[in-house]
Amino acid sequence: MDKNDDGSPRGAGGKDTNPKDAVGTKKWRQIMCIPFAVLWEVGVGMLEGARKYGRHNYRVSKVRASVYVEAAMAGHLMPWWEGEDIDEESGLNHITKAICSLVVLRDAMITGQWVDDRPPKIDMGVMREKMQGAVDSIFERHPVAVAAYLEGDQRTENWVKSIVIEPDVKLRARALSLWRSGSAIADTETVLFEHLTHDTQKYYLEKARDEIHSEDRSTDS
């Protein structure tokens, strides 16, 4: 498709679209980039607050940062992460309610109506460097991860159906042995073939097959 200099599509016959298009696409208001489905949900969530406390009350009364950060995190994001999708009081998704809390806080910040009650700040640069070192060390010591336990896909009958089905017990044992030789796991730790991720299983099964075939060819010769 032919495009104008600003990336917008040309009109029929390859002609430029309305001259205002080139200007309008670069305006500060970029509402078309916002997914309206989320915006509609946030609107309903904000309606609940408007009915309870008065619409735009946060532009008159000071907003304490800690209250809204805790509401977003502890009140909604953490329950959602732990498997509760819907906020019992509003009937809305916890993610939507968390966004509403942050919308209020951010509006108060923009209008100067917030109370910054954050604790004395730490040196995040030092913290990031320290934690990254710890993470890098973990990946070095455990290069191949055991599969995560996920809701709806756990170590149950459903989870077992998703793993590689390999009836050859000796081949599975060889694959697991190859994995152990390349990992930092202690020999005393119990790890079953089924504990490995799907991709890891496939990778080490192929390596095990290659080794066995190579041994068979050596024997035949």
**What pLDDT score does 115 carry?**
97
Q: What is the tens place of the pLDDT at every residue in 15-26?
A: 566 777 777 788
Question: Are 75 and 151 in the same domain?
Answer: no
DSSP string covering 88-150, please? TTT-SBHHHHHHHHHHHHHHHHHHT-EE--PPPP--HHHHHHHHHHHHHHHHHH-SSPBPPPB
Whole-angstrom Cα Rg for the chain: 28
Q: What is the tens place of the pLDDT at every residue in 56-77?
A: 999 999 999 999 999 999 999 9
Measured at the CA of 35, the angle between CA 70 and CA 77, to 5 degrees, comes to: 20
**What pLDDT score does 56 carry?**
97
Which helix H or strand E contains 48, and what residues bound it? helix 36-53
Strand pairing partners for 146? 196
Question: Are 42 and 89 in the same domain?
Answer: yes
Average pLDDT value over all residues in the chain: 82
Among the residue ranges 36-40, 71-75, 193-197, the one predicted with the least confidence is 193-197
Looking at the structure of the chain, the number of domains it has is: 2
Measured at the CA of 20, the angle between CA 18 and CA 23, to 5 degrees, comes to: 135
204 or 187, higher pLDDT: 204
Q: What is the tens place of the pLDDT at every residue in 115-147?
A: 999 999 999 999 999 999 999 998 888 776 666
Question: Are 109 and 185 in the same domain?
Answer: no
Residue 202 lies in a domain: yes
pTM: 0.63
Question: Are 57 and 97 in the same domain?
Answer: yes
Domain range holding 52? 34-115
Strand pairing partners for 196? 146
3-class secondary-structure state, position 199: helix
CA proximity to 6, closest of 125, 17, 207, 67: 17
Residue 10 lies in a domain: no
